[in-house]
Structure formats: C-alpha cells, structure tokens
Amino acid sequence: MEIKFMWAPNMSVNDEIIDAQHKELLNQINTLLDVVFNEKDISIIKETVDFLEKYIHGHLEYEEEYMERHLYPELSHHKEIHDKFNQRYTEFKKSLEISGPTKEMFSEVETFLGNWWIHHIGHEDRKYAEFIKENE
C-alpha cells in the first residue's frame, strides 16, 4: 500500500520560496509515510528531526517576515502557531536524545507532520495567501 500527499497548484501561496519550502516538507512527510507503510527502518526519524530544525529556522522565519512585509493582520496568531510547532519539535528532539528512535516517537512525528500539512499549510497558510492576493 502506498499513501502519499501530493502537491497541487491550489496549495501555492504565490511565493516561490515558501512554495519550495512547503514542497520540501511534503517530501519529508512522504518519506515518513513510506517508512510506515513499507515497514522500513525507523532510524530515518533522526533525519526528520534534523530537517525540522532547518525548517523552523528557514521556513517559519521567512514566512513570518513575508507576512509582515504584506501587513497580514493575523500575523501574531500565526506566530503563536509556529511557536507551538517549535515547542513540539523541541520535545521530539529531547525524546530522540534520551530514548533514541522508537516506533512510538516515529508514529507521533509522522502524525504531527501529516496534521501540520493538512491543517496548517492547507488552512492557516491559505488565509495569508488569500489576504495578500486580495490586497495587492
């Protein structure tokens, strides 16, 4: 069985850099799904946690600056959501350092990122994209 998230043009926020970063996250999620459904080695979780650190310091910061440049009125709320993402990442990193890769942790990360893709990128990011499109 193969389950993958697919990129569609309606997911675009009309910024090439953010779209590229979202696609990179999508690839990471699909890698995790491949491990889950094809019962591959869960040690890939280390790579995912490392990826998340880069994602936080690259994508989330860039996205917040982008919204600020475009005077997005819900920026503070969006930052709160990003802060929660960062907190969850910190929990994953500590757990990995303490326990090493476990099936439970792998499942939590995979579920978290899948939900992030659907709810945050699919809904929250659409809000600022629509605002910017309507106000430019």
What is the rounded distance in angstroms from the CA atom of residue 57 to the CA atom of residue 42?
A: 25
Q: How many domains does the chain have?
A: 1
Q: How many CB atoms lie within 10 A of CB 86?
A: 14
- pTM to 2 decimal places: 0.85
Torsion over CA: 79, 80, 83, 88 (sign): negative
Q: Per-residue pLDDT for 38 more than 80?
A: no
Question: Considering the domain boundaries, does residue 10 fall inside one?
Answer: no
**87: containing domain:** 44-135
Question: Considering the domain boundaries, does residue 1 fall inside one?
Answer: no
Question: Considering the domain boundaries, does residue 30 fall inside one?
Answer: no
Question: Considering the domain boundaries, does residue 4 fall inside one?
Answer: no
Question: Considering the domain boundaries, does residue 87 fall inside one?
Answer: yes
Q: What pLDDT, on a 0 to 100 scale, did the predictor assign at position 102?
A: 78
Question: Considering the domain boundaries, does residue 78 fall inside one?
Answer: yes
Distance between alpha carbon 76 and the CA centroid of its chain, in Å? 18
Question: Considering the domain boundaries, does residue 118 fall inside one?
Answer: yes
Question: Considering the domain boundaries, does residue 18 fall inside one?
Answer: no
pLDDT band per the 50, 70, 90 thresholds, residue 36: low
